[in-house]
Amino acid sequence: MFAGVMPLSWVISWHGRAMSEASHWFARAWQSVWRSLHADADREALHRKTCQIANTSIELLLLVTEPEGQDFWLRPGETVELRADVETESDHFELTEEDQEITVWPSAGMGRISVWLHGRPLQVGHQRPTE
């Protein structure tokens, strides 16, 4: 063997070990990223409640979200989605229904209720009659 030249078998095994360690590091890093992405999705799913409200009548339906008293008016056949962040899975929407009016209260562990139509949040007073 010449001085300063490594045997080919040593180079291959060294590179093999280096490649193995790099592959192992990459696999661990990818698994960590994968788990955190899915954990965030699971965490989001567990911490948000949704509820569909549909106006099946032939008249306008008043939807009020409390405690702010926000009003949203639904046309016949229109369906909206209520969304709220929750602390636990036992949190829920509390609904009361009267003649052409639905009032929604959040349970104790819920955040603010938002109202969505076709994937977009609605503004307070949505389709409010001018009368």
**Which pLDDT belongs to residue 8?**
42
Query: Residue 34 is inside which H or E element, if any?
Result: helix 8-46
Q: d(Cα 118, Cα 63) in Å, to the nearest integer?
A: 17
Cis ω for the linkage preceding 67 (within 30 of 0): yes
Q: d(Cα 88, Cα 103) in Å, to the nearest integer?
A: 22
**Which pLDDT belongs to residue 68?**
92
Mean pLDDT of 105-129: 93
**Which pLDDT belongs to residue 27?**
54
> What residue segments make up the domains of the chain, in order of their start?
7-46, 48-121
C-alpha 47 chain-centroid distance = 8
pLDDT in tens, 48-97: 899 999 999 999 999 999 999 999 999 999 999 999 999 888 889 999 99
Tokens linked to 71: 């009003």
Q: d(Cα 65, Cα 72) in Å, to the nearest integer?
A: 8
**Which pLDDT belongs to residue 12?**
42
Tokens linked to 30: 């990818």
